[in-house]
Amino acid sequence: MSSTWVPDVSSETPFSLANIPFGIISTSSDPAPHVAVAIGLHVLDLKVLATHDKFTELFPALLGKENVFSEPTLNAFAALGRGVHRDVRNTIQQLLSAETTRPEILRDNEELRQKALLPQRSVKLHLPMSVGDYTDFYAGYHHAYAVGVMFRGPQNALQPNYTHLPVGYHGRASSIVVSGTPIRRPNGQILLDPTAEPKQPITGPSRRVDMELELGCIIATPNRMGSPIKVAEAEDHIFGYVLLNDWSARDIQMWEYVPLGPFNSKNFASTISPWVVLADALEPFRTKAIENKTAIQDYLKDVREDTVFDIELEVDIRTPEGDTTTISRTSSKNLMWSFPQMIAHHSLGGCPMKTGDLLGSGTISGPDPRESGSFLELSKGGKEDIMLYGMDVRRFLKDGDTITIRGSCGKAGQRVGFGECIGRIETAVPL
Amino acid sequence: MSSTWVPDVSSETPFSLANIPFGIISTSSDPAPHVAVAIGLHVLDLKVLATHDKFTELFPALLGKENVFSEPTLNAFAALGRGVHRDVRNTIQQLLSAETTRPEILRDNEELRQKALLPQRSVKLHLPMSVGDYTDFYAGYHHAYAVGVMFRGPQNALQPNYTHLPVGYHGRASSIVVSGTPIRRPNGQILLDPTAEPKQPITGPSRRVDMELELGCIIATPNRMGSPIKVAEAEDHIFGYVLLNDWSARDIQMWEYVPLGPFNSKNFASTISPWVVLADALEPFRTKAIENKTAIQDYLKDVREDTVFDIELEVDIRTPEGDTTTISRTSSKNLMWSFPQMIAHHSLGGCPMKTGDLLGSGTISGPDPRESGSFLELSKGGKEDIMLYGMDVRRFLKDGDTITIRGSCGKAGQRVGFGECIGRIETAVPL
């Protein structure tokens, strides 16, 4: 991969020429949300680029679809399919390359460049997709195991179905927000003393607000209802990936979740990163998933060896006092099920996937305790203090705490990453 | 309530002048889906009515919003709020009344009447709402108790949280279909012998496809994220009600649902009736919910006595041979939690409800076994035959079986009902 003529692209940026992630921006001169890509510290405004009279010559796949970059979400672009995403990304890389064969279009076109190439700090980032349905899986093996040990001991840590199918549940789409949106501590029903009889809950702010470090996968091409997506074809249905923080209130969860699963403990907010990294950009970073020794069903068998991505993930907490501590470092490879397997399972009974649907991996933790993707694991079920910089400690999140997730892969100068997925906990609404 | 001048309105129709339910139709002359109301055996095409030059004089609340009846879903109309729904319904009742004070608008206007008042059998009915999120509750007390007895015995039939909060889970919005849509039997993972070790599932067509008789509630007015809806204000957020059949595959459910709840066992299809009965139309049919002796939390306390509706519900099965048997008759009053309580609970932590969101009551069964809203109950967990007309029997649904749900209330000539919610089981996709 060559370098770019765009200024201020450091070797450590997650938005190298090898990436070209898509997002939704608004600017002071155009406050209507529309499509851009990120490159270093800049964004390229594709709605502005689409005004160039050579646009459809450069992007023949978008002939008749020039308005796709004026849309307030990426759904219309995603719906064009993976072949179009690939062509468009390739052409943008060509235009931004130091060896571009078409310098007159953008590099040497000062008027267009001034309008289209904008400092990232000057634009506002919006939720990139309109998410119709959100499904959260539980494919992070080490997380499922660690949490299972807490509740059922090491002998029964994993439920019998865990290695046979990618366990998942339907999440709440309406509370998905873009990075930076404040996260209000939820009120909820909590059983303070689970041993007392009769059981008597109280209503109040959750005392156990947690993060969940996840990778999110976004659907591009829908399937018809009743027509499952085969595991071998699932990649063609994927638009790209985001970082996902599936905020969780553990005390609310513990009381409400029997017998139908998590509900208010999860539906107060889920944060995604603003930039969607296209599926093609992550192709070079494939690796093996965690070995599953179970003889799995045919519809879940993937002939490929490398079905997941090795993305370095890290989580910072910043206290209200401003002290920052990195509390977790792990990799997105710590999954027992791949997204193609999740898609094949999800659609097995005929469930239609729609453009913009979000699938979460489930919490990603590594085998080492310092690789934990949740406070539940880091604090051993809320029983041990997590030491932070500045003599501070946590078991769960306090008001004013900010969680930042980062994820990227690749060599210096060619890094492919998501930027930041941030949320700050605000005080609960008074009851 | 007076009678109507519209012909062929029988005293038994669920679409009397007292009802005026809203739906989405297309016609041979206008194939773009748009808004209509039902009256007897006819529909009144509101997109056509909106072309009358006195339209905004008649419907002042729709001034500047004349296009709301040209939309392909009811969402835009629902978003206008309950006051507008009430005004619009009142004016339509006035126009269709035998004592209308404006006969020149429609009754005596043959040209408009010919175009706007159409036989129901000549129009196609579409999904009335675009459903952003679908939540299914479990508020049918007798169902929850009967199923609990099957799995845990009478001592532990209800989980400890059941009487403290309306238990619910997030469903799948993408597979909600309108009455009449064929229902494909889902393939899925099934554990044929739950006692054998190691546990070894197979993949194949569900052998235990079931119906679930439910009432659905549709949200009109959204709340801001982080701002809960109080129980006393929840009625103002409701657009109306539909019948809901939440098809379920019990064998898939049994294997998959631990620990995060039902997933593929539910997401292959949920059917709703095409006509949305407005909240105001059901007001006269309020009654008491099932008594809850638990001291509930303040945010769930409703000062009103009558918080649910007494709607007569019945379920027919028609076999492939054409024999029809009514297998259940019950009432929608068999709920322990009301929709305002469900909405207050759902939004307690800040979760945003959006226009078009669907809340299911959970399966409604009465105290008598013949009032059961699912085959799971009717067949005592799949252990006993249900006797059908024509010497036929069922424990669960066979390919070619058709389930029809009906619901209505009120006296002859003033009945308020939903019409039919129908689905026929089709053979599974070959694996």
Residues 6+ positions from B85 with CB-CB distance below 8 Å: B77, B78, B220, B239, B240, B278, B279, B280
Which residue out of A42, A85, A142, A143 is catalytically annotated?
A143
Mean pLDDT of B313-342: 98
User: Nearest chain A Cα to B185, which residue?
Assistant: A349
The verdict on A264 and A333 lying in the same domain is yes
Mean pLDDT of B10-38: 98
Tens-digit pLDDT profile for residues B245-286:
999 999 999 999 999 999 999 999 999 999 999 999 999 999
Peptide bond into B320 cis (omega under 30): no
Q: Would you state the structure tokens that stand for residue A335, as one six-digit string? A: 């999954």
Say which of B255, B262, B350 has its CB closest to residue A260.
Answer: B262
Q: CA–CA separation, B150 vs B354, rounded Å? A: 36
Query: Is residue A156 exposed (0-12), middle (13-18) or buried (19+ Cβ within 10 Å)?
Result: exposed
One-letter amino acid at B415 equals R
State yes or no: pLDDT of A89 exceeds 80.
Answer: yes
* Residue A260, CA distances (Å) to A187, B58, B144, B263 in order: 20, 48, 12, 10
B136 is in an annotated binding site: yes
- The answer to whether residue B94 is domain-embedded is yes
The verdict on A118 and A165 lying in the same domain is no
- Tell me which of A100, A126, A152 is where a domain ends: A126
* Residue B295, CA distances (Å) to A191, A198, A202, B345 in order: 14, 12, 11, 16
Query: Is residue B53 exposed (0-12), middle (13-18) or buried (19+ Cβ within 10 Å)?
Result: exposed
- The answer to whether residue B3 is domain-embedded is no
- The answer to whether residue B382 is domain-embedded is yes
State yes or no: pLDDT of B1 exceeds 60.
Answer: no
- Tell me which of B91, B126, B161 is where a domain ends: B126
Question: B431 to chain A: which residues are within 8 Å by CB?
Answer: 298-299
The verdict on A51 and A169 lying in the same domain is no
Q: CA–CA separation, A70 vs A47, rounded Å? A: 5
Strand order in the sheet with B117-119: B117-119, B42-45, B34-39, B22-26, B124-126
Annotated binding site of A for substrate: 138, 152, 253, 257, 363
One-letter amino acid at A324 equals T
Nearest 5°: phi and psi at B339? -60, -40
Q: Are B40 and B10 in contact (CB under 8 A)?
A: yes
The verdict on B167 and B49 lying in the same domain is no
The verdict on A149 and A92 lying in the same domain is no
Which candidate in A127, A143, A163, A169 is best for mutational testing of the B interface (most B CBs within 10 A)? A169
- The answer to whether residue A363 is domain-embedded is yes
The verdict on B48 and B149 lying in the same domain is no
What DSSP designation does A371 have?
Answer: G
Q: CA–CA separation, A3 vs A20, rounded Å? A: 13
The verdict on B300 and B360 lying in the same domain is yes
CA triple B307-B310-B312, angle to 5 deg: 155
Q: Closest Cα to residue B141, out of B120, B116, B166?
A: B166
The verdict on B212 and B320 lying in the same domain is yes
Q: Are A341 and A307 in contact (CB under 8 A)?
A: yes
- The answer to whether residue A312 is domain-embedded is yes
The verdict on B214 and B308 lying in the same domain is yes
Beta bridge partners of A421: A405
Q: CA–CA separation, A189 vs A370, rounded Å? A: 31
Say which of B186, B261, B348 has its CB closest to residue A188.
Answer: B348
Beta bridge partners of B287: B308
- 3 state SS of A214: strand
Say whether A167 and B353 touch across the interface (CB within 8 A): no
Instruction: State which H helix or E strand residue B219 sits in.
Output: strand B213-219
State yes or no: pLDDT of A146 exceeds 90.
Answer: yes
pLDDT attached to residue B66: 87
- 3 state SS of A314: strand
How many CB atoms are closer than 10 A to CB A144? 21
Tens-digit pLDDT profile for residues B82-104:
999 999 999 999 999 999 999 99
- The answer to whether residue A3 is domain-embedded is no
Owning domain of residue B263: 134-426
| Number of domains observed in the structure of chain A | 2
Rounded to a whole number of angstroms, the distance from the CA of B230 to the nearest CA of chain A is 10
pLDDT attached to residue B151: 82
Q: Closest Cα to residue B342, out of B326, B359, B355, B357?
A: B359
The verdict on A121 and A148 lying in the same domain is no
Tens-digit pLDDT profile for residues B177-203:
999 999 999 999 999 999 999 999 999
Tens-digit pLDDT profile for residues B209-227:
999 999 999 999 999 999 9
Mean pLDDT of A159-165: 97
The verdict on A291 and A416 lying in the same domain is yes
Residue A143 known to be catalytic:
yes
Kindly give the pairing relationship between strand A286-287 and strand B209-210.
unpaired
Q: Are B291 and B301 in contact (CB under 8 A)?
A: no
The verdict on A122 and A139 lying in the same domain is no
State yes or no: pLDDT of B143 exceeds 70.
Answer: yes
ipTM of the complex: 0.97
Q: Are B331 and B208 in contact (CB under 8 A)?
A: no
Say which of B171, B187, B228 has its CB closest to residue A349.
Answer: B187
Beta bridge partners of A407: A313
Q: Would you state the structure tokens that stand for residue A29, as one six-digit string? A: 């001169």
Tens-digit pLDDT profile for residues B368-407:
999 999 999 999 999 999 999 988 999 999 999 999 999 9
pLDDT attached to residue A217: 99
User: What CATH number should be reported for the domain holding residue B46?
Assistant: 2.30.30.230
- The answer to whether residue B1 is domain-embedded is no
pLDDT attached to residue A66: 87
- The answer to whether residue A12 is domain-embedded is no
Tens-digit pLDDT profile for residues A264-322:
999 999 999 999 999 999 999 999 999 999 999 999 999 999 999 999 999 999 999 99
Residues 6+ positions from A50 with CB-CB distance below 8 Å: A62, A66, A69, A70
Q: CA–CA separation, A329 vs A407, rounded Å? A: 10
Q: Are B100 and B107 in contact (CB under 8 A)?
A: yes
* Mean pLDDT of the residues in chain A: 97
Tens-digit pLDDT profile for residues A186-242:
999 999 999 999 999 999 999 999 999 999 999 999 999 999 999 999 999 999 999
Tens-digit pLDDT profile for residues A9-34:
999 999 999 999 999 999 999 999 99
What DSSP designation does A123 have?
Answer: S
Mean pLDDT of B29-35: 98
CA B27 distance to own-chain centroid: 24
Spell A243-264 as b/e; 16+ CB within 10 A means b.
Answer: bbbbbbbbbbbbbbbebbbbbb
Residue carrying structure tokens 């949320």: A423
pLDDT attached to residue A1: 57
Say whether A264 and B346 touch across the interface (CB within 8 A): yes
pLDDT attached to residue A2: 73
- Tell me which of A93, A108, A126 is where a domain ends: A126
User: What CATH number should be reported for the domain holding residue A340?
Assistant: 3.90.850.10
Q: Closest Cα to residue A174, out of B144, B223, B211, B231?
A: B223
Which candidate in A178, A297, A298, A351 is best for mutational testing of the B interface (most B CBs within 10 A)? A351
How many CB atoms are closer than 10 A to CB A67? 12
